[in-house]
């Protein structure tokens, strides 16, 4: 057997092919967020054209998350029970075409509809990608790889915010949508032909008194109990939601905050805000690396670390929006960019650790439903509504409250982690050729 054909223990594919699939997943996630968040840097231009309120502008972001909330669970079932590569490829094509369509809308209603269609395409990507990565790499590296993959979120958001402001200032906001849509469509075609793993049978194992193992197909009640009987898993979902409320608020409104509070032109405010998001490129992989290192000594580190990260982020956010101004504020926000995404790898890995391998996409889908319903879809509108009633600075000053809630949920979940892990079935993964 040739050296490059050897599959290392714990891996699904050869190293080279694993890196190729990971690269496609990374780039797709990056363009997922470019297409999702670019609209934030276009707010002043769209507002000037159509005279929209901040609440209406916020709904252009929320619409994506409403569609994700509605569809991510059924699509994740398709991912788990049918095909990861085909579902992901089809979804990426849909969201790319919907982004391209945003360039041709003629009213707020049409733009809201096309933004909703972007969410339809993106509904199952995070669960599908998470399931693929969990299968491709050893469990011991799961947080670290999740951290690398999730670094694509701030990278894509930063690119979207920076490019949107620059393109809109020079060529108009419609061009911004059209330009970023094309690469995602090309990646969608490539991923459609990637390798996949065999769909995992939903089997429950029980050890009998004579030492033999009885295997039986899971009933509907078994499937329900697989989720609801694990407090660590449930608390992780809601901890995610509180954190995502804060990150989405910053992704959506920070560039506009710099524009309004400091009177910085949008073509300069957008790159300034994007740098804060870009530093999450450090935070997510670093959080994953530290979490996996800590896990060697502390089995529940994948929830302890997110809890501590949320506490630190709460303190930094309070200083940034309630105490500091000017340069001091911006330095605090740069530190926040590192800290606030360091929770993601551990929490994302926990959604995979605590569940039967046949439900990995579904588990992350439930995390997506909860975090988008209570966090991402609410944040742009809630912050916009408070801004309409008071001002944007006051609206962003409430964010530390959500971070303290997240810390409480993660740290409480850590108390149940070891017990819940002991109930998870171990199932070997196989390649689908």
3-state secondary structure 355-406: CCHHHHHHHHHHHHHHHHHHHHCHHHHHHHHHHHHCCHHHHHCCHHHHHHHH
CA 342 – CA 284 distance, rounded (Å): 4
pLDDT at site 206: 59
pLDDT at site 131: 84
8 phi-psi bin (left φ>0, alpha ψ -120 to 50, beta other): beta
pLDDT at site 2: 44
pLDDT at site 213: 56
Low-confidence ranges of the chain (pLDDT < 50): 1-3
Fold of 7-198+222-425: Growth Hormone; Chain: A; (1.20.1250)
What's this model's pTM, rounded to 2 decimal places?
A: 0.77
pLDDT at site 1: 38
pLDDT at site 204: 66
CA 85 – CA 134 distance, rounded (Å): 14
Distance of CA 412 to the CA centre of its chain: 22
Cα-based torsion angle of the residue sequence 142, 315, 371, 414 in order, rounded to the nearest 10 degrees = 50
What is the DSSP code (8-state) at residue 213?
E
- Cα maximum dimension of the chain: 76
| Domain residue limits, the chain | 7-198+222-425
At residue 112, φ and ψ (nearest 5 deg) are: -60, -40
pLDDT at site 392: 94
Could you count the other beta carbons within 10 Å of the beta carbon of residue 170?
10
Exposure string (b/e) for 54-71, b if CB count within 10 Å is 16 or more? Answer: bbbbbbbbbbbbbbbbbb
């Amino acid at each position: 057997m040739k050296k490059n054909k050897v599959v290392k223990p714990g891996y699904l594919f050869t190293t080279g092919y694993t890196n190729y699939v990971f690269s496609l997943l990374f780039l797709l996630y990056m363009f997922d967020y470019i297409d999702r968040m670019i609209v934030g840097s276009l707010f002043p231009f769209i507002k000037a054209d159509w005279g929209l309120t901040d609440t209406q502008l916020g709904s252009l972001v929320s619409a994506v998350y409403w569609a994700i909330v509605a569809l991510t669970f059924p699509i994740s079932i398709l991912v788990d029970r049918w095909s990861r590569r085909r579902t992901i490829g089809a979804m990426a094509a849909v969201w790319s075409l919907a982004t391209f369509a945003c360039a041709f809308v003629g009213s707020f209603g049409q733009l809201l509809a096309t933004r909703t269609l972007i969410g339809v395409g993106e509904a199952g990507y995070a669960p599908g990608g998470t399931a693929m990565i969990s299968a491709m790499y050893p469990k011991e590296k799961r947080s670290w790889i999740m951290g690398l993959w999730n670094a694509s979120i701030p990278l894509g958001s930063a690119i979207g915010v920076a490019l949107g402001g620059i393109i809109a200032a020079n060529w108009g906001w419609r061009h911004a949508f059209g330009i970023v849509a094309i690469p995602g469509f090309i990646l969608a075609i490539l991923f459609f032909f990637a390798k996949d793993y065999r769909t995992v049978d939903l089997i429950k194992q029980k050890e009998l008194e004579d030492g033999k193992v009885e295997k039986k197909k899971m009933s509907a009640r078994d499937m329900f109990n697989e989720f609801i009987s694990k407090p660590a898993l449930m608390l992780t979902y809601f901890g995610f939601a509180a954190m995502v409320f804060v990150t989405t608020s910053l992704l959506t409104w920070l560039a506009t905050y710099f524009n309004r509070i400091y009177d910085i032109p949008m073509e300069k405010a957008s790159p300034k805000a994007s740098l804060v998001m870009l530093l999450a490129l450090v935070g997510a992989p670093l959080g994953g690396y530290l979490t996996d290192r800590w896990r060697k000594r502390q089995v529940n580190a994948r929830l302890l670390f997110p809890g501590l990260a949320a506490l630190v982020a709460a303190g930094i956010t309070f200083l940034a929006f309630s105490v500091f101004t000017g340069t001091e504020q911006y330095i605090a926000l740069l530190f926040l960019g590192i800290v606030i995404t360091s929770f993601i790898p551990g929490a994302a890995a926990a959604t995979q650790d605590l569940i039967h391998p046949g439900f990995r996409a579904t588990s992350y889908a439930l995390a997506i439903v909860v975090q988008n319903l209570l966090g991402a879809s609410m944040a742009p509108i809630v912050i916009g509504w408070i801004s309409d009633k008071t001002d944007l600075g006051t609206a962003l000053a409430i964010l530390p409250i959500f971070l303290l809630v997240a810390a409480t949920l993660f740290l409480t979940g850590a108390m149940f982690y070891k017990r819940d892990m002991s109930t998870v079935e171990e199932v070997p993964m196989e390649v689908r050729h």
